[in-house]
Structure 1
Amino acid sequence: VVEQLLMDSNANQAIICDNLRKVYPGKDGNPDKLAVRGLSLALPKGQCFGMLGPNGAGKTSFISMMVGLTKPTSGTAYAHGMDIRMDMDDIYTNMGVCPQHDLLWETLTGKEHLFFYARLKNLKGAALVKAVNDSLKSVTLFHGGVGDKQVGKYSGGMKRRLSVAISLIGDPKVVYMDEPSTGLDPASRNNLWNIVKEAKRNRAIILTTHSMEEAEVLCDRLGIFVDGEFQCLGNPKEVYISFLNLKYYCSNTSKIIYHCNAIQLKARYGGAYIFTVTTPPEQESEIEQLVHRLSPSANKIYNLSGTQKFELPKQEVRIADVFHAVERAKSRLSIHAWGLVDTTLEDVFIKVAKGAPVFNDVA
């Protein structure tokens, strides 16, 4: 897809990454570190793309290349048609960045930060003052004179909100946010999400996060990034059921990496229900038999002191059947508690990040 878009001069893509690769040379006898393994990605205007992945997966290395902090080892990327290898000075005028760690001056106020960055985006006069005040209001740093306080007196959450405001000042067309909600309380986080949802209407946003909830709320598309490459891509609102034509191979380090010829994401949050039930420990085997009568392919994923948790493939079981079976079993078993829930995006992420397929051959 990326190769076709690169050949199309009329392609309406805000960001195109073409086989982007980053290798950090080894030092003191250590081997080279391959941080990003040939990443290709296209992102249109008006879309927020989320990158999920464990620490050390290469997400921040990717962002660092895109914002010009480090140069790619090979490959390149384009922001509104401008090459990150040669046109970064022009790209900066249309780019916003919220880094993973706040880069702020402790002795400047929040308002002074925004004035500084807004002037870099060539804002002047009344437009400059309005942009700064609107930014402070959007991240709830305007009222009570908070914007006029030195940043050194801000809490961690206030600094994070200021960093997000800086990334959006001056109406940039491309924005990179590296874990933007880190350290925020629930109310501030929800407010921040509303800001990002509004901001993505006329720009492209690439966002890295560890929060599954944040990914679902903000992102139009998601990629789970593990060991320098995407393990899967999809729409978070139809989440993960199947790997079609799943193949795997062992690398030189004997680590299993799963490759999908096609990935189909459908049915909200996975292809299985999670059934949890608590009984006296001596009744565990009877519960297991009950579960396997409901779903022959059920998989026990947790067992401790009478509490058992099972994955029930959706194509084998109906919710009503589970309710009826549990009600009938209550007449002969001591069921202290039970529950049936959908697989969450977090469950999916953990499994993919560990290098394991989510479900076996579910079509």
Structure 2
Amino acid sequence: MTGLVKPTSGAAFVQGLDICKEMDKVYTSMGVCPQHDLLWETLTGREHLLFYGRLKNLKGFDLNQAVDESLQNVNLFKGEFANKLAGKYSGGMKRRLSVAISLIGNPKVVYMDEPSTGLDPASRMNLWTVIRRAKRHIAIILTTHSMEEAEFLCDRLGIFVDGRLKCIGNPKELKGRYGGSYVFTMTTSSEHEQDVEMLVQDFSPNAKKIYHIGGTQKFEIPKEQVRISEVFQLVEKAKSSFKVLAWGLAETSLEDVFIKVAGSAQGF
């Protein structure tokens, strides 16, 4: 889709242009943010954007305006950040610059591969906000292993397993389709793990254990079989019999959906 590898079969179109035959024209309306930062350490952030802006046929005033807007969008405009060598940028600044490069020139479609990889929580949230704001006017195709990133950014999700598309829909649809359950988590000392299993059986005979490590156990509980108030009552009662270090009851997460789809596809 990005033109780095020649398609072996099939067809795809961007703005009505065939990526097999008219890729040179597609490049002017396309942006790419790879997983690893492809930056020149001896160029500044502004110089990077000037270079890539020229590749998008921007010139003169339009080019300078687009560069300034891009720097502002990713919080690299203030201070000396814009004129600082990319080699001296932090990891978060490099990712933000890579995203800015992919978005300059108002492309019609942008491909992003794990844009927030390796960032601290604050930098990650800042970058997600930039991407979320940009998707109002741009079609963004994003690949990621982070379900948190997918849920925050994506309007429509597809889960691939072994190169095959297994499901597609918005996050709420996928949770409803593959969820339909609560996830009950409890952490105790290892000698009370059997007590936890018995507790869960009391309020949900059809509960399924989905995770177990070091005294922490997770169970998938069908929603129709349990009342939240009953769970709280039984847990409070159990605390008088053995020590509960931590526990929780949550809706099915997107990560649980991913694990379920991938596991069923691979026969787990």
* TM-score after normalising by structure 1: 0.68
2:81 is paired with a residue whose SS is helix
Query: Which residue of structure 2 lines up, in the alignment, with residue 169 of structure 1?
Result: 104
Residue number among 92, 115, 118 corresponding to 2:50 in the alignment = 115
2:96 is paired with a residue whose SS is helix
**How many residues are paired up?**
268
Aligned partners of 1:334, 1:107: CA distance in 2, in Å? 59
Please state how far the C-alpha of 1:96 moved relative to its aligned partner: 0.8
2:192 is aligned with 1:301 = no
Asked whether the 8 Å contact 1:348–1:358 carries over to 2, the reply is no
1:145 is paired with a residue whose SS is coil
2:245 is aligned with 1:310 = no
2:258 is aligned with 1:349 = yes
Query: Which residue of structure 1 lines up, in the alignment, with residue 175 of structure 2?
Result: 240
Any stretches of 5+ residues in structure 2 without a counterpart?
Answer: none
Query: Which residue of structure 2 lines up, in the alignment, with residue 146 of structure 1?
Result: 81
Residue number among 268, 274, 289 corresponding to 2:183 in the alignment = 274
Asked whether the 8 Å contact 1:279–1:334 carries over to 2, the reply is yes
1:260-271 matched pairs, under 5 angstroms: 264=177, 270-271=179-180
Aligned partners of 1:155, 1:357: CA distance in 2, in Å? 39
Identify the structure with the greater helix proportion. 2
Asked whether the 8 Å contact 1:160–1:183 carries over to 2, the reply is no
Please state how far the C-alpha of 1:204 moved relative to its aligned partner: 0.7
Q: Which amino acid aligns with 2:261?
A: V
Residue number among 273, 277, 292 corresponding to 2:201 in the alignment = 292
1:101 is paired with a residue whose SS is coil
Give the direction of change, closer, same or farther, for the CA distance of 1:151–1:284 in structure 2 (3 Å limit).
closer
Query: Which residue of structure 2 lines up, in the alignment, with residue 7 of structure 1?
Result: none
Q: Which amino acid aligns with 2:96?
A: R
Q: Which amino acid aligns with 2:234?
A: A
Asked whether the 8 Å contact 1:224–1:349 carries over to 2, the reply is yes
Residue number among 137, 141, 149 corresponding to 1:202 in the alignment = 137
Give the direction of change, closer, same or farther, for the CA distance of 1:170–1:215 in structure 2 (3 Å limit).
same
Give the direction of change, closer, same or farther, for the CA distance of 1:321–1:357 in structure 2 (3 Å limit).
farther
1:140 is paired with a residue whose SS is coil
Asked whether the 8 Å contact 1:209–1:215 carries over to 2, the reply is yes
Q: Which amino acid aligns with 1:113?
A: H
1:240 is paired with a residue whose SS is helix
RMSD: 2.4
Q: Which amino acid aligns with 1:347?
A: D
Q: In the TM superposition, what whole-angstrom CA distance separates every residue of 1:284-342 from its partner, at most 9, and x where no partner exists?
A: 44432332231121112344565433221112112111112222334444444432222
Asked whether the 8 Å contact 1:352–1:358 carries over to 2, the reply is no
Aligned partners of 1:280, 1:168: CA distance in 2, in Å? 51
1:72 is paired with a residue whose SS is coil
Asked whether the 8 Å contact 2:166–2:261 carries over to 1, the reply is yes
Q: Which amino acid aligns with 2:152?
A: V
1:202 is paired with a residue whose SS is coil
Aligned partners of 1:122, 1:354: CA distance in 2, in Å? 47
Give the direction of change, closer, same or farther, for the CA distance of 1:163–1:287 in structure 2 (3 Å limit).
closer
Q: Which amino acid aligns with 1:329?
A: A
Query: Which residue of structure 1 lines up, in the alignment, with residue 120 of structure 2?
Result: 185
